Amino acid sequence: MTAMATRITDVPEQWEVTASATPFQGNKTGVRTDDVVMPDGTVARRDYQTHPGSVAILALDDQDRVLVLSQYRHPVREKLWEIPAGLLDIPGENPLHAAQRELYEEAHVKAEDWRVLVDVYTTPGGSDEAVRIFLAQQLSEADGERFEVSEEESVMELARVPLEELVRGALAGELHNNCLVVGALALHAAISGGGGVGALRPADADWPARPYEK
């Protein structure tokens, strides 16, 4: 086993694909099957979800409360507490613009201060989904009429919860949405010993997983 350096980082790498097919393509996501050449020369078949990418917003008010919403998620048969989030609907879309749109549509809120909190792959063993989680501060009510919602979003509940309560709930196994858990723990870490919010990346930081025009 190789000794690990103090600082580690993920690196781009692409193994040879000898065949590829898309047995299913839905409205936004699909399933792809690739035959991938392994280091020993054998070929292994890998099935995974193709995904356009997502943004999520940890919106923190001046009382250190996070804006959360409760939404029914059919695949897991649970109503989960989450932070506002949504798909990158347009290829190459600026993720900050998408995040501002989602915060408006789901919570009718705008923010004056935006930073990149953390970038993650949700399930890299089974999906290529990449998510950029923003920290949004200096919140206020959005202008104009509320965005008209439907389906699951029509019965969403909104709340503002102290950051510490989200951290406690995540560690207690009471909260499970990945963006909420990762975002809350990341912000807690930044505040506690990671140089503070001021050390976070700017809102227009490069995102190699989903390149975009600034």
The residues that are catalytic are 153
Q: Could you tell me if 69 and 158 are in contact, meaning their C-beta atoms sit under 8 angstroms apart?
A: yes
Q: What string of DSSP letters covers 104-155?
A: HHHH-EEEEEEEEEEEEES-TTTB--EEEEEEEEEEEEPSSSPPP--GGGGG
Among 152, 187, 146, 195, smallest CA distance to 170 is for 187
Helix axes 178-193, 163-171, angle to 10 degrees: 120
